[in-house]
Amino acid sequence: MSIFHSLDTTGSALTAQRLRMDVISSNMANAETTRGKQVNGEWEPYRRKSVVLSSQEGAGSFATQLNAAIGASTKSVGNGVKVSRINEDKETPFKLAYDPTSPDADKDGYVQLPNIDPLKEMTDLISATRSYEANVTVFNANKSMLTKALEIGK
Residue of 136, 135, 122 whose CA lies nearest to 24? 122
Total structural domains within the chain = 1
Structural domain that includes position 19: 5-31+49-88+116-152
Task: Indicate the length of the chain as a whole number.
Answer: 154
Cβ-contact 43, 104 below 8 angstroms: yes
Phi, psi (deg, nearest 5) at residue 47: -100, 140
Cα(35)–Cα(51) distance, rounded to whole angstroms? 22
Residue 61 within any structural domain of the chain: yes
pLDDT at res. 74: 47
Residue 146 within any structural domain of the chain: yes
Residue 82 within any structural domain of the chain: yes
Write out the DSSP string of 101-145. Answer: TSTT--TTSEEEE-S--HHHHHHHHHHHHHHHHHHHHHHHHHHHH
Residue 99 within any structural domain of the chain: no
Residue 64 within any structural domain of the chain: yes
pLDDT at res. 96: 94
Each residue's pLDDT tens digit in the chain (154 positions)? 577 788 888 999 999 999 999 999 999 999 999 988 888 888 899 999 999 998 876 555 566 666 666 765 545 556 788 899 999 999 999 999 999 999 888 999 999 999 999 999 999 999 999 999 999 999 999 999 989 988 887 7
Residue 71 within any structural domain of the chain: yes
pTM: 0.80
Residue 44 within any structural domain of the chain: no
Residue 36 within any structural domain of the chain: no
